[in-house]
């Protein structure tokens, strides 16, 4: 039976700027079981990275705030967790990989020392030889010969640097890995290799993963469930088959995929949709997609739809609710 690792309920996050309050997340609900991989998909600015930063409690100090909701990690309340306990959780249990490997690596230290630093931090008292043995293991695990541990980041290619970042992120066996566009900066063939490696490692180490991406090919290759995010809300959520097959979809998902999604499709990038996301400083009374939606009805501009649940496949749209149907017939 699957075991719940992460549960996010009704999460609201706001950024306060000098001019305005930005409503970045507006009631996010999602969950992740041990060993599962969830794809977070959406346009830039939809709130994907804010979800990851909220899980790590690394929202920018003074400006980013969780204003409502719950984040439970293995039954522990992250929202109210003290910083000291949180520091323990970061790295020990939850690691993050960013898009740009160079920004995550220190150019002045050898890669071996950077992996060793993380291992030592999380295993105080571990003998030097044991640390070195673990460094060698981690290098080999990501497909880089251990003898290259004395080299510096600039001596590696982009793909290898990202492998080293992954080795660092995995060196304390986290139970949850947050990967924010981990292959975007790499060329296509290297992307495929790094993804395959991440998928294999995840299986071997039973690490759960949240994969933030624009790339529908990445989602199809590695994710078991998918959340489609629009303007700080999850508009569609389900198992990979729910999202890539079947006949029920949120109009935004259909727009993103350029057509009804198809897991065998060769279309890999998100399709641009006409129009812009709504201004995040101005809360809307209705559906946030209404101004761009080809199916918008009167009710869509005045009321926010509830998610309709089809056996775990959730769609937040009046097209699927009795209320929307009744209103449409009455129009
Ligand atoms: Fe379109 Fe209305 Fe559904 Fe929003 S609720 S996606 S506007 S049909």
- Taking only the tens place, the pLDDT of each residue in 7-22 is 999 999 999 988 899 9
Q: Where are the alpha helices (DSSP H) in the chain?
A: 48-56, 83-92, 101-104, 111-122, 128-141, 158-170, 188-205, 216-222, 240-244, 251-257, 322-330
The verdict on the CB of residue 307 being under 6 Å from ligand 1 is no
Of 278, 298, 318, best ligand 1 pocket probe by most atoms within 8 Å of the beta carbon: 318
The verdict on the CB of residue 230 being under 6 Å from ligand 1 is no
Cβ distance 99 to 191 under 8 Å? Answer: no
* Alpha-carbon span 146 to 135, nearest angstrom: 8
Q: What is the pLDDT of residue 260?
A: 47
Q: What is the pLDDT of residue 329?
A: 57
Domain borders along the chain are: 4-93+174-330, 101-173
The verdict on the CB of residue 99 being under 6 Å from ligand 1 is no
- Taking only the tens place, the pLDDT of each residue in 146-201 is 999 999 999 999 888 988 998 898 887 889 999 998 887 777 777 788 888 888 88
- Taking only the tens place, the pLDDT of each residue in 203-258 is 888 899 999 988 877 888 889 999 999 999 999 999 999 998 878 999 999 888 77
For residues 264 and 240, which has the higher predicted lDDT (pLDDT)? 240
The CATH superfamily of 4-93+174-330 is P-loop containing nucleotide triphosphate hydrolases (3.40.50.300)
The verdict on the CB of residue 254 being under 6 Å from ligand 1 is no
pTM over 0.75: yes
Q: What is the mean pLDDT of residues 286-310?
A: 94
Of 253, 275, 285, 289, best ligand 1 pocket probe by most atoms within 8 Å of the beta carbon: 289
Beta partners for residue 313, in sequence order:
310
3-class DSSP state of 211? strand
């Amino acid at each position: 039976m699957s075991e719940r690792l992460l549960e996010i309920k009704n999460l609201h996050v706001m950024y306060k700027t000098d001019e305005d309050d930005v409503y970045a997340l507006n009631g996010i609900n999602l969950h992740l079981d041990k060993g599962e991989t969830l794809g977070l998909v959406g346009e830039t600015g939809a709130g994907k990275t804010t979800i990851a930063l909220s899980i790590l409690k690394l929202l920018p100090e003074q400006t980013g705030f969780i204003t409502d909701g719950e984040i439970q990690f293995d039954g522990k309340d992250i929202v109210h967790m003290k910083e000291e306990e949180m520091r323990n959780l970061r790295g020990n249990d939850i690691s993050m990989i960013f898009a740009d490997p160079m920004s995550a690596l220190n150019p002045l230290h050898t890669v071996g020392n950077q992996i060793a630093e993380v291992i030592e931090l999380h295993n105080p008292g571990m003998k030097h030889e044991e640390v070195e043995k673990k460094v060698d293991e981690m290098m080999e695990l990501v497909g880089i010969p251990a003898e290259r541990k004395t080299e510096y980041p600039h001596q590696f290619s982009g793909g290898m640097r990202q492998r080293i970042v992954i080795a660092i992120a995995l060196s304390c066996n986290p139970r949850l890995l947050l990967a924010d566009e981990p292959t975007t900066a790499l060329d296509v063939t290297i992307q495929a290799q790094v993804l395959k490696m991440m998928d294999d490692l995840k299986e071997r180490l039973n690490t759960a993963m949240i994969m933030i991406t624009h790339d529908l090919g990445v989602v199809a290759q590695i994710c078991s469930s998918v959340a489609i995010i629009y303007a700080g809300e999850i508009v569609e959520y389900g198992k990979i088959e729910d999202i890539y097959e079947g006949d029920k979809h949120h109009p935004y998902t259909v727009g993103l995929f350029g057509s009804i999604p198809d897991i065998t499709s060769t279309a890999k990038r998100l399709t641009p949709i006409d129009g812009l996301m709504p201004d995040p400083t101005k809360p809307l009374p209705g559906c946030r997609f209404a101004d761009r939606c080809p199916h918008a009805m009167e009710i869509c501009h005045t009321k926010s739809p509830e998610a309709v649940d089809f056996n775990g496949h959730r769609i937040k749209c009046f097209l699927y609710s009795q209320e929307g149907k009744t209103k449409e017939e009455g129009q």
